[in-house]
Structure 1
């Protein structure tokens, strides 16, 4: 008999796509889902006597299962605190038929959880031991295909609007603002457009991007991020407040200042994925004459013609993706000069004299010599305390033994030689023993890694606050504690 402390969960979900298709589709709204599930509870009073928990994922796609409330619901299920899960239909739970089938056929039956989909007329208690699962699998497959087809239709509808020259982004780009009469139309923002014209003119006059950025900073002109913050768009409040070469280059390269809109430069790799991929230029959607041009074509061509030659004359190089040196003032990654005796400097120091970043300058070779000496000391300590390999081998054998016991335990349970309660309790103990042994192996392996070839193999980051003062963050927490 199911314990009374277990809860009945009403799971509700609505995605952004449901609103995009039609705001009049009330059947998929949170309100209508809640009403439907509450009516079901009233008709099935044996469920209504249990504790009811409502969990809502508002604005999350059903094509993947990385949703806050869904993950919380599964966590409660794994802890044995859930008696029943009720949804409006299978698509509210998820649109990936493989993952949905996994939960319905494996996870929930193992945990003794009843699953009900109201509109689909599905109750796991009624189909147990029958072929009802075949109908469920087929229905899930249809939902998955429907989702992919729906995605294509939404993309097609958006592409039609793009080709009509409608501006669909939530925020206008620098130099423009949304029209008060039509939110899908742009008008010139004269205050920002004046800065854009100045940047293009300086580029056409063969000023380097570095000189342009420095000039704008000296005049106290707000960056695009700061300007948007000033206009009330607070999502940009944590972005760098300094003009840089990259910011200038992005503006000079932007063809939208010629009065055209460009869409489809990047697309999602697959339905439900957040990853995007670049689209070749011939497949971009370009619509001319959608808004007033800030820059004439002649000035645009002149500015870009000189920008390429000048922009190649960089005298510093970035530390790259694996760079570990950071500025203690602004937090940006330090760059290495190309001198005979290279030094590390903050890239922001070049643009404004008054910034504290100008004091962040240190000889790279001298810093690395000190870091190698510190690493050498730790290496010697670790070698003196190195654990023999037989300890790790012993732990690995223990893990294999625990895994075999888990298999035997499951066979006993399937043959009904032990109760469900006994099965889960013993399985929990074995799982904890396996995790404990794995953690010990991982801990010993980290301590024995003393033959790393690069400084970055030991050190996660070095923050340079000023000459002769640095902060080191180690990759191994035990080393970090040793310094603290």
Structure 2
């Protein structure tokens, strides 16, 4: 200790910090309490003149990228302060390596006095070997405490995610937190109506950019502006202008968000450990996904439809307000490449064709095409017939439960399953009692081993048979519980005078064209219908999957 250092006046700054992420107690470690403690300490040490105040409220102590801390370093460089006072070492930081580097190397080099009140540490006096040993040990304890809290917090959040609780700090556009449970979501109708509009316009054939332009024209607040106007302090890194605008990327993020179907998807990113702040992408198989956690804004059918649209090549000509009905759907039947739309003019009249026009295609398909008007009329007629077939299938399924053969099969299987369950339970009990008989001397070793092998074989056979019969029973009863809501959707198009994009993309997956105006339509077939095809006559099943005209 230098006598002159002890007598000189120190230009001191207090540094305070609080972070829930580190497990800090709000009551005892509040910013105001820290300042009051430091103020009281300086009053009892007249050589300390408190001239600056630096604070980081809500910043973790495991790194030093904090605005208040960085401002304090600037104050040191400018010569405004030469003494730093904190409540304890944990307020300064919880990374024992970095804390040690500042206290033991940087501050002494710069002539900065460092005081941690509750740890009874003052760099002006604490220079003994015991102090030099104790200081890193305390920093190590603070670091370990932060790591332990981080593990517990992350584990607790993972449990909530698995249960379907919403744990993100930012609520998705279109929802708000339920007042009675902050981990549950409720529909925010004004924003939800915009979400429904976005999905509807995309299904109608508008591009993401066109939808964004429409929302800007309607003066619809962007998601971030809407939250701010609702009293939130939300911020975003995507905002470029002072007045936020809708962009195609904003629209696409909404269209791709499965949360609008009532399904909670969380945990897409994670932090490897408590010292790494930058999130890392988590494999999709490890995401936390739970269905039916909240009310849906968009039906699953519409969401899946839009997802298919986004995956489809939908080229749009300049000046065209909507996508052409057949964009991204028509393919060459020979090379299976996407066909282009071309225009020809004859006698001042325009004609449009879809064909395989790319120069690198083989000669077997180069140049052949099909008239767009002919394609529209043919596909429209085929879709109407398809809807009729689906309606027939729905009527047939509605009568399946009353067919005696179907009833007899289900009844027989149910009886066989019950009998198998009784037999399985019997052999499992015999198997479990064998060892007791052997232990009591009722069976010798050879008898015990032979009976054990025999009973175990019976258990395995019965278990396999039971699984097989249960699967058959589920298949038979599936028809009675079929969800035919798709058919109701398709029936709306029955009287449509023209073919539109929504009708086409809802029902058709691909259209293959061949020479001589031959086309092959592959329908966008719901999985629910596929499960039921084996209940229907083969002729009906075949024409519901694909159709050639």
TM-score in terms of structure 1 length:
0.56
Give the structure 2 partner of residue 344 of structure 1. Answer: none
Instruction: Give the structure 1 partner of residue 279 of structure 2.
Output: 276
Asked whether the 8 Å contact 1:62–1:91 carries over to 2, the reply is: yes
**Which residue number corresponds to residue 148 of structure 2?**
149
Q: How many Å apart are 1:257 and its aligned residue? A: 0.7
Judge conservation of contact 1:175–1:188 (CA < 8 Å) in 2. Answer: yes
Give the TM-score, by structure 2 length: 0.50
Equivalents in 1 of 2:61, 2:309: separation in Å? 49
Aligned to 2:33: 32
Matched ranges for 1:293-442 at <5 A: 293-310=296-313
Structure whose alpha-carbon radius of gyration is higher: 2
Query: Is 1:244 aligned to residue 247 of structure 2?
Result: yes
* Further displaced range: 281-290 or 119-128: 119-128
Structure 1 counterpart SS, 2:63: coil
Corresponding residue to 2:15 among 11, 15, 26: 11
Change (3 A) 1:298 1:102: same
Aligned-partner Cα distance in 2 for 1:7–1:312:
68
Tell me, in whole angstroms, the C-alpha distance in 2 between the residues paired with 1:215 and 1:77: 53
- Residue 395 of structure 2 corresponds to none
Gaps (5+ residues) in structure 1? 316-484
Q: Shift of residue 217 of structure 1?
A: 4.8
Q: Which residue of 2 aligns with 1:62?
A: 61
Secondary structure of 1:309's aligned partner: coil
Partner of 2:410: none
2: distance between equivalents of 1:29 and 1:218? 47
**Residues 266 and 279, structure 1, Cα contact 8 Å, conserved in 2:** yes
Q: 2:48 aligns with which of 50, 70, 73?
A: 50
Aligned to 1:292: 295
Once residues 229 and 26 of structure 1 are traced to their aligned partners in structure 2, the CA distance between those partners, rounded to angstroms, is 29
Deviation at 1:188, TM superposition (A): 1.6
Partner of 2:114: 115
CA distance in 2, matches of 1:160, 1:133: 42
1:106–1:243 CA distance, 2 compared to 1 (3 A): closer
Aligned residues, how many?
Answer: 309
In structure 2, stretches of 5+ residues that fail to align are 319-549
CA contact (8 A) 2:9 2:47 kept: no
Deviations 1:128-168 (A, max 9, x none): 25342122122212222222222121222222233333323
RMSD: 3.1
Q: CA deviation at 1:115?
A: 2.6
- For the structure 1 residues 123 and 290, does the alpha-carbon distance in structure 2 shift closer, same or farther, using more than 3 Å as the test? same
CA distance 1:276–1:93, shift in 2 (3 Å): same
Q: What is the CA distance between 1:305 and its match in structure 2?
A: 1.2
Deviations 1:24-46 (A, max 9, x none): 6422222332343344445xx4x
Deviation of 1:280 (Å): 1.0
